[in-house]
Amino acid sequence: MVDQVEVREGASSENTARLLGLDAWERVCVRSRRFVLDGKPVLLSTSYLPAPLVEGSAITQPDTGPGGIYARLAELGYGPVHFREEIRSRMPLPEEVAKLRLPAGTPVMLICRTAFAEEGPVVEVNEMVLDAAAYVLEYDFDA
């Protein structure tokens, strides 16, 4: 369950701009969310989307409607058809400790998900910080 949503227009990090195929000065829509399970924050998620692509759509609102941003991207003709995830772990930053209410010594997992539309344009970069004690990541795929 999402307990906090913040939507703004702004700049992305140099890495996020690179993944989106943008110059560092180009505008992005930034959607920050905190997810809570049984009253405990477990996930921070920040999505970056090219601002000109989503301008005027429900993606720029806190409540995107049924199906979330991927359904809205599909309505715009840019529905994701492929994802790439990069997973890392580290000790949390002080801000992450506070937002996730982490006990001392609890590591976090970082997932950077890149969403691609048909023909390859990147339509979203989602940077997630997960309480490592609250998640098991399981992947099932063919060889």
Whole-angstrom Cα distance, residue 55 to residue 70? 15
25 in Cβ contact with 4 (< 8 Å): no
- Pairing verdict, β 80-90 and 40-50: unpaired
Q: What is the mean pLDDT of residues 30-51?
A: 96
Is the per-residue pLDDT at 15 higher than 90? Answer: no
To the question of pTM greater than 0.85 for the whole model, the response is yes
2-134 — its CATH code? Answer: 3.40.1410.10
pLDDT band at 3; cut points 50, 70, 90? confident
- Pairing verdict, β 108-117 and 80-90: antiparallel
Percent of the chain with pLDDT over 90: 81
**Nearest Cα to Cα of residue 46 among 85, 91, 5, 78:** 5
Kindly report, residue by residue over 47-94, the tens digit of the pLDDT.
999 999 999 999 999 999 999 999 999 999 999 999 999 999 999 999
108 in Cβ contact with 91 (< 8 Å): yes
